[in-house]
Amino acid sequence: MAGEKLGVKNSSSIVPCFLFVELVIMAGTVLLAYYFEYTDTFPVHVQGFFCYDRTFSKPYPGPEHHSMVPPMLVYSLITAIPTLTILIGELMAFFMKAEGTQEKTIVAADCCFFNPLLRRIVRFLGVYSFGIFTTTIFANAGQVVTGNQTPHFLSTCRPNYTALGCQSAMHYITERRACTGNPLLVVSARKSFPSKDAALSVYSAVYTVMYVTLVFRTKGTRLAKPTLCLALLSLAVLVGVVRVAEYRNHWADVLAGYFTGAATAVFLVTCVVNNFQWAQPAPVPVRAQRPDSVLGMPMTALPCVESPLEKLSGPQTPGSPFTEIT
Ligand SMILES: *[C@@H]1O[C@H](CO)[C@@H](O)[C@H](O)[C@H]1NC(C)=O
């Protein structure tokens, strides 16, 4: 009994600590993504180029928002689709799982924050948005560090070949002030590897696909889930294809973006949210189940006991159904 009390005491001090640490990490990630994205805190590496280099001589395709897949569309889709999917999936899973068990009474007795449904939604969406910012940081960091040029680089750079002495195509230009074009366009034409749009869309698609595959239960139809998953994945792949087709990125950039996004999603799903499973904590159910087995009420699935958060209400959990039922 003394050990139990000690555990409760510890967890009550751990919970605010966890929340605080997670908020700090999240805020730091968002800030870093912001600095990469909207400021020039991290200047892009200035890479040289060969005169008349054909790989960088494609025509300028216009600003990003004139693309067939403008950034705004990508950002809204990668926000809306996973959010909706997770909301629908959690509601369905919760109400199917809750049927025939006594979970609801326990959940209702707890504070709303400890509601397992809400906690799962917050956790999955929180980890998802964390991954969005991490992927953005990875892509931006790669672009800034490598400074690889886009296929339309020379069209925006517009180097004065006579002034630079470009008699042969083998002449390599390292001069920083070689470009005469719009400086903003030149800077963005130096950010190509890896493709951020490809990384974000594949990250979003893989996270959603893994969620759908691992959580959704579609009894009776075998092809519904794969169809949805393949549709999402091909949409994400299409974003990269359009980037290449519009001369905004090379294939290597897009493939590296795919890899970055997919790796981030797989890591977060397998290692951080444990494949979206309902966690089964070792010590708590023993305590929580005893009064139920005494009453002959099977209460094997207890989604509300799965983290240090739950130990707060641990001692009351066996008591409250007991009093309610008798
Ligand atoms: C390119 O440089 C040469 C020599 O410096 C100069 O005469 C010419 O006007 C420049 N051309 C442009 C388009 O700036």
Q: pLDDT tens-digit profile of 131-148?
A: 999 999 999 999 999 999
In whole numbers, what is the pLDDT of the chain averaged over residues? 81
- The mean-pLDDT minimum among 3-7, 49-53, 260-264 falls in 3-7
pLDDT at 11: 52
Contact 51, 168 (CB under 8 A): yes
The residue count of the chain comes to 326
pLDDT at 19: 83
Among 142, 149, 253, 239, CA closest to 200: 239
% of residues, the chain, pLDDT over 90: 58
245 falls in which pLDDT band (50, 70, 90)? very high
Q: How far apart are CA 122 and CA 135, in angstroms?
A: 20
Name the packing angle between helices 71-98 and 116-146 (round to 10°).
Answer: 150
Residue ranges per structural domain of the chain: 2-273
For residue 172, the SS3 value is: strand
Contact 211, 121 (CB under 8 A): no
- The mean-pLDDT minimum among 32-41, 123-132, 302-311 falls in 302-311
H or E segment and range at residue 49: strand 49-50
Q: How far is CA 4 from the centre of its chain?
A: 37
Torsion angle, alpha carbons of 173, 175, 181, 184, to 10: 120
| Ligand 1 mutation target, pool 157, 160, 173, most atoms within 8 A of CB | 160
Backbone φ and ψ of 50, nearest 5°: -80, 145
Among 324, 196, 212, 289, CA closest to 248: 196
254 falls in which pLDDT band (50, 70, 90)? very high
236 falls in which pLDDT band (50, 70, 90)? very high
| Ligand 1 mutation target, pool 162, 173, 175, 180, most atoms within 8 A of CB | 162
Q: Which residue CA neighbors atom 11 of ligand 1 most closely? A: 160
For 235, counting Cβ atoms within 10 Å of its Cβ (0-12 exposed, 13-18 middle, 19+ buried), the class is middle
This prediction's pTM: 0.79
Contact 152, 61 (CB under 8 A): yes
Q: How far is CA 46 from the centre of its chain?
A: 30
Ligand 1 centroid to residue 159 C-alpha, Å? 10
pLDDT at 175: 87
Among 16-30, 112-126, 273-287, name the most confident range. 16-30
Tokens of 153: 């680089």
Cis peptide upstream of residue 226 (ω within 30 degrees of 0): no
Ligand 1 centroid to residue 145 C-alpha, Å? 31
Tokens of 322: 């007991």
Q: How far apart are CA 323 and CA 326, in angstroms?
A: 5
Residue with tokens 């990003």: 64
Which residues does 271 contact at the CB level (< 8 Å), separation at least 6? none
